[in-house]
A and B are shown apart, each in its own frame.
Chain A
Amino acid sequence: MKLLERASGTAYSLRSAAVLRIGTGLLSLAYLLRDIGDAGVLWGPEAYWTPEMALELNALNGWTGFYTVAVTESPVLWWVFYGLAVAVSVLFTLGWRTRVTSIAFAVLVCAVQFRTAFVNDSGDHLVRLLAIYLACTACGRVWSLDGRREWSPPLLKGENEELRRRVVTLTHNLALLVIAGQVMIAYGAAAMYKIQGSTWRDGTALHYALHLNAFTPWPELSHWVAGQSALILGLAYLTVFTQLGLPFAVFSRVLKYPFLIALLGSHAAIAVLMGLPLFSAAMVIGDMVFLGDAFWIGAAVLVKRGSGGRAPGTPRRDHRGEAAVLSRRSPG
């Protein structure tokens, strides 16, 4: 009961949740707007995967109802839907009425992705997963428009209100744990698959990856890197070991930082060298779940010192001293 008291009494990592919200919202905007010129042929009525084909395959899969909500023959309806997805992504990023907006966001992200599943990659999958999980969190409490609003009256009275709050807080904490578990599983699985492969074991995997036409926007640079056998061996092993080790390293308050920095570096390299910025950014946003509020408060203080104003994300309605409490108790 004491554990329940704590898990339903304190909403942990509110700032990490806010960073995930902002990151996921921006990634959704990138997903929608980068290909606005191709939106018609990717998802619209003129899509290569036609509305009729989308309905037929979904019916074969037994996915009816919601799964086809974005499938339409009408250009007007499609663009209204697309505009709605963009607008909700903006509102979610800003944290406006986040309780409702986060649910609408998750629904719309899923609907667009289900329209043409074949054009989505692993980064898009992660954005969808985060959107669903974030709808269960209190990701709009800080660093948001909601956080700037004055205190709103309680929804219920007395003990009912306390029960409601505790349910919300517990759900938030569990959802963050699920996000953390999801990211750990992703890295663990990625490493597990790689160590089965002969080229990851002999350190030549990157040689092949850096010669794939779809993933070499800078062929001269990629081919030069591919030719440095010691470098690509080191990078291949570093990739496997950091992915394999991350699910364990995050339990250490010290060790997690070098692992997260190594992953940040490898994703930055993937973003540039392989032309996969959205995928890389999605992975980095996912990693942010492991940075506790102590880290974000420290970062906010640094920004405050730099700019000489109120630290961004210090919610007006926060109790004084909450930051200090959180920084002591922050759950890794």
Chain B
Amino acid sequence: MTAPRRWLLAAFAAGAVGLAGWQLAVVFLYVAPANGVSKTHKPVIDGWIYPWFEQHWALFAPNPFAANYRIEARTSASGTWHDLSAVDNAAVRHSPYPARANQNLLRRAWKIYRDFGDRAVPARTERAELFRRYLGNIAAGRLEGLGERRGTYDALQLRITTLPIPAPGAASAPRPTRTVLPWWRA
């Protein structure tokens, strides 16, 4: 190629190499444990990463979660507690490729509500209120499958029992802890 096109190619190459380097540098800073540089430049890093390049690699780390959740729900109509987690566990059992609705959905919704929600009804921030409604919708959907039809009750309530996994060789597990959420209007 002659000079002008060679320079055009060189300019493109410089830009492309710069972009590739930038991509890897920002991804590295985003996934590495929080550090001085990533804390200072958090808005730039998050602005570049979300939502296109979102990724999380701290799987079962630093430590695997050492407990199981039992998420139960009841309605104002019947008052009977239904074990929603048991439904998920039964669906996962002996399935080589469990559905994400059973493996992830409810547990993740609870963790998001726990981490970003507040216990107020309605929640104090728009975001927290969204996560409260999301968890409530899933519970209502699951209750429907257990015979509690939508529209037959005014309110529903969730309680979450955290069941610690006993340490290897331990005779007994630490005591379970229980969180009871307020009644939510259906």
Task: Assess whether A197 is in contact with B62, with CB atoms less than 8 Å apart.
Answer: yes
- Is there an interface contact between B141 and A41, defined as CB atoms closer than 8 Å? yes
Partner of A125, one of B54, B66, B167: B54
Q: Is A307 interfacial (CB-CB < 8 Å)?
A: no
Q: A212 contacts B68, CB within 8 Å?
A: yes
| B residues 5-36 in Cβ contact with A at 8 Å | 5-6, 8-10, 12-13, 16-17, 20, 23-24, 27-28, 31-33
**Complex interface residues of chain B between 97 and 156 (CB less than 8 A to chain A):** 97-105, 107-109, 112, 126-127, 130, 133-134, 137-138, 141
The reply to whether A217 and B93 form a contact with Cβ atoms under 8 Å apart is yes
Chain B neighbourhood of A152, CB < 8 A: none
Are the CB atoms of A53 and B138 closer together than 8 Å? no
**Interface-lining segment among A71-79, A95-103, A199-207, A253-261:** A199-207
B40 contacts partner chain A, Cβ-Cβ < 8 Å? no
Contact B165 A211 (CB under 8 A): yes
A212-B64, A278-B97 known; A132 and B141 CB under 8 Å?
no
Return chain B residues, CB-CB under 8 Å to A34.
97, 99-100
- A residues within 8 A CB of B96? 217, 272, 275, 277
Query: Which residues on A sit within 8 Å (CB–CB) of B13?
Result: 4, 7-8, 170
Contacts of B95 in A (CB 8 A): 217, 275
Distance between B60 CB and nearest chain A CB, rounded to angstroms: 5
**Residue in B16, B31, B108, B126 whose beta carbon sits within 8 Å of that of A56 in the complex:** B126
**Chain B positions within 8 Å of A49 at CB level:** 134, 137
Which B residues lie within 8 Å of A219 (CB)?
A: 93
B58 lies within 8 A of chain A by Cβ: yes
Rounded to whole angstroms, the CA-CA distance of A166 and B85 in the bound complex is: 56
Return chain B residues, CB-CB under 8 Å to A181: 20, 24, 27
The contact of B9 among A4, A118, A189, by CB within 8 Å, is A4
Report A44-83 CB contacts with B as 1/0, cut-off 8 Å. 0000111001001100110100010000000000000000
In the bound complex, residues from chain B placing their C-beta under 8 Å from that of A171 are 16
B32 to chain A, nearest CB (A): 6
A contact residues around B52 at 8 Å (CB): 110, 128, 132
Given A190-B59, A205-B64, A217-B93, A119 and B24 contact (CB-CB distance below 8 Å): no
Q: A38-B101, A214-B88 are in contact. Are A174 and B20 (CB under 8 A)?
A: yes
With both chains docked as a complex, state the minimum distance between the C-beta of B67 and any C-beta of chain A, in angstroms.
9
Judged by a CB distance under 8 angstroms, whether A248 is at the interface is no
Q: Once the chains bind, are B130 and A216 in contact (CB under 8 Å)?
A: no
| Distance in Å: Cβ of A148 to nearest Cβ of chain B | 30
State whether A214 and B17 are in contact (beta carbons under 8 Å apart), knowing that A63-B51, A167-B12, A185-B24 are contacts in the complex. Answer: no
Q: Mark A132-172, 1 if CB is under 8 A from B, else 0.
A: 10000000000000000000000000011011001100110
Contacts of A185 in B (CB 8 A): 24, 27-28, 31
CB distance B58 to A190 under 8 Å?
A: yes
Is residue A186 within 8 Å, beta carbon to beta carbon, of the partner chain?
Answer: yes
Q: How far is the CA of A189 from the CA of B130 in the complex (A)?
A: 31
A218 is an interface residue with CB less than 8 A from chain B: yes
Inter-subunit contact A48/B97 (CB<8 Å): no
Closest to A186 in B: B57
Beyond A7-B13, A129-B55, whether A209 also contacts B103 by CB under 8 A is: no
- Give CA–CA (A48, B106) in the complex, Å: 10
Residue on A nearest B92 in the bound complex, by CB: A217
Q: In the complex, what residues of A have CB within 8 A of residue B61's CB?
A: 190, 193-194, 196-197, 200
User: Measured between alpha carbons, how far is A98 from B16 in the docked complex, in Å?
Assistant: 21
Rounded to whole Å, the gap between the CB of B169 and the closest CB of chain A is 8
Q: A53-B133, A159-B2 are in contact. Are A277 and B97 (CB under 8 A)?
A: yes
Q: Check if A196 sits within 8 Å of B62, measured CB to CB.
A: yes
| Contact status of A193 and B62, CB under 8 A, knowing A217-B93, A229-B168 | yes
Select from chain B the residue with minimum beta-carbon distance to A57. B130
Q: Which 4 A-B pairs have the closest CB atoms?
A: A197-B62, A193-B61, A197-B63, A209-B64
Residues on B facing A (Cβ under 8 Å) = 1-2, 5-6, 8-10, 12-13, 16-17, 20, 23-24, 27-28, 31-33, 50-66, 68, 85, 88-89, 92-105, 107-109, 112, 126-127, 130, 133-134, 137-138, 141, 165, 167-168
18 new A-B contacts, CB < 8 A, other than A38-B99, A121-B104, are A34-B97, A118-B105, A119-B105, A125-B54, A160-B5, A167-B9, A170-B16, A175-B20, A181-B20, A181-B24, A186-B57, A190-B61, A196-B33, A196-B62, A197-B61, A205-B64, A206-B64, A275-B103
24 A-B residue pairs with CB within 8 Å: A34-B97, A42-B105, A48-B141, A117-B51, A122-B56, A129-B53, A132-B52, A132-B53, A159-B2, A163-B5, A163-B8, A170-B16, A178-B23, A181-B27, A185-B31, A186-B55, A193-B61, A199-B63, A205-B60, A207-B165, A208-B66, A214-B92, A227-B168, A272-B96
